[in-house]
Amino acid sequence: MADLNEQEIRKLVEEAVQQLGSNVSGEAVNQVVREAAAKINVPVNTSAPQPQIQPSAVGQNRIIVTAFGKNRRGILAGLTGVLSETGCDILDLSQKLLQEFFTTMLLVDISESSLPFEEIKAKVTAKGEELDLKVIIQHEAIFNAMHRV
């Protein structure tokens, strides 16, 4: 029996969301991931309490942007500027400096953007590369489901 690492779990969840669509409920993603794990004989803790998705969050076009790297002037302005240019709304933001290292996590509403998720992701990732940051962007449903599995 094999144990999955975080990257393998992320791939399972991303595949589930891709198959089910980006507006899928957390419970549907859980079900698909559990079935996939059972097929490859990987245990999933089904007795652990599962966080509930708030009804208002179901069907929303929200993404999580995580970025980290060496701190320098203009990082937050660069990332938030691209999000603003693409018509996105930042709902929540957290940032932390640990000596010379910078990390940020943003909850972003993309429902008013005229651009599709993949294009927003490409633009923000490109800006991150320009700023020497590692940027991870994922739908909120994927992020939530990863922490339920």
Does the pTM of the predicted model rise above 0.75?
no
**66 and 121 in one domain?**
yes
pLDDT digits (tens, 9 = 90+) for 124-137: 999 999 999 999 99
d(CA 37, CA 99): 40
Higher pLDDT, 83 or 25: 83
**49 and 25 in one domain?**
yes
Give the CATH number of the domain where residue 84 resides.
3.30.70.260
The reply to whether 147 falls in a domain is no
From 110, 111, 114, 79, select the one nearest 93 (Cα to Cα).
79
Whether the CB-CB separation of 16 and 36 falls below 8 Å is answered with yes
Mean confidence (pLDDT) of the chain:
77
The pLDDT of residue 98 is 86
Total number of domains in the chain: 2
Domain containing 13 equals 6-54
**82 and 37 in one domain?**
no
Looking at residue 57, what DSSP letter applies?
Answer: G
SS3 102: strand
pLDDT digits (tens, 9 = 90+) for 23-80: 555 666 666 666 766 666 666 554 444 444 343 344 358 999 999 999 999 999 999 9
The pLDDT of residue 42 is 63
The pLDDT of residue 104 is 94
From 32, 50, 72, 19, select the one nearest 9 (Cα to Cα).
32
Alpha helices in the chain (DSSP H): 6-20, 26-39, 75-85, 117-130, 140-146
pLDDT digits (tens, 9 = 90+) for 4-13: 555 666 666 6
